[in-house]
Amino acid sequence: MASSADNDNNTLDDPMVFIIIGKAYEREGDEGIDIHVMLSAPDDDTAVREALNALSEEGFLEADLDQIGTLTGAPEDEPHASAYKGALEGEVAIIRFA
């Protein structure tokens, strides 16, 4: 009887889109800004590194990243829907909540 082999080398059809939730600080001593970062990456370590690099490029001095997860589908509501589309195109989207 033939069976298909299952291994860890299977690739996903769609890229993994991560959402990272946290707080970012523009100046030392500030209260911080709640943020969501959405990006496509091969794994969570790469996602965190790329998110921190993007936050640094946007002028943030530091960030506390609280949660990370992958999205299983496109969000319907803005601004997350546009951020998801950007992540699929290779962008790192930073959503700020003031």
- For 9-23, how does the pLDDT look when each residue is reduced to its tens digit (9 = 90+)? 444 556 799 999 999
With respect to residue 23, please indicate whether it lies within any of the assigned structural domains: yes
> Across all residues in the chain, what is the average pLDDT?
89
Predicted TM-score (pTM) of the model is 0.83
Residue 93 lies in domain: 17-34+46-97
Q: How confident is the model at residue 3 (pLDDT cuts 50, 70, 90)?
A: very low
Q: Is residue 30 part of a domain?
A: yes
Cα–Cα distances (Å) from 44 to 20, 27, 50, in that order, read 10, 27, 10
Look at residue 83 and tell me if it is in a domain: yes
Q: Decide which of 7 and 18 is more confident.
A: 18
Determine which of 3-7, 46-50, 53-57, 75-79 has the lowest per-residue pLDDT on average: 3-7
> Within a domain: residue 57?
yes
> Would you say residue 55 lies in a domain?
yes
**Spatial contact of 79 and 98, defined as CB atoms under 8 Å apart:** no
pLDDT at 13: 57
